[in-house]
Amino acid sequence: MSTRWLDDGEMTAWVRLAAVLELLPGVLDSQLRRDAELTHYEYYVMAMLSEAPKRTLRMTALAQQTNATLPRLSHVVKRLEDRGYIERFPCPQDARATNARLTAEGWKKIRATAPGHVETVRQHVIDVLTPAQVGELAEICGSILAAVDPDRRLSGVYDR
């Protein structure tokens, strides 16, 4: 099989995407740490719970939605539990499973944190694009997601 090398235009697109993938998480994480004393992943876990019915998910479902291993998620949830933002309890439908629920304090925290996070997303992504480019970005990301998530494991997160 012959290697299909990237041409100059393809290389430019790839290198720029790789740079965004490298730099944007740090920008988001820095703002959340500074303003809310949360990592981006902690915020993401809380946000997924905030959107769930009764602000509750099985840990396995939360791990799937946040694309994390159960050990990583358990470690993060423990930190958030210690801060009073999340509580864990046995799943009433399956005693072998554990649920995670956003507490009232966690709900207050996510509501207080969301405006700053959205402003950071606007400043560094949305507002630097034209409305047409925002639509193109959604379409481009949809195409990439179809390739990297062919089973649509995370489609509940990105299909809105």
Amino acid at residue number 135: G
In this model, does residue 159 exceed pLDDT 90? no
Taking CA atoms, 15 is separated from 24, 133, 136, in Å, by: 14, 19, 18
Neighbours of 29 (CB within 10 A): 16
- Confidence band of 95 (pLDDT split at 50, 70, 90): confident
Amino acid at residue number 19: A
Q: What is the pLDDT of residues 27-62, one digit of tens each?
A: 999 999 999 999 999 999 999 999 999 999 999 999
pTM for this prediction: 0.89
In this model, does residue 160 exceed pLDDT 80? no
Q: Which domains does the chain have, with CATH numbers?
A: 26-113 (1.10.10.10)
Neighbours of 73 (CB within 10 A): 21
- Confidence band of 155 (pLDDT split at 50, 70, 90): confident
Angstrom distance (rounded) from CA 106 to CA 82: 11
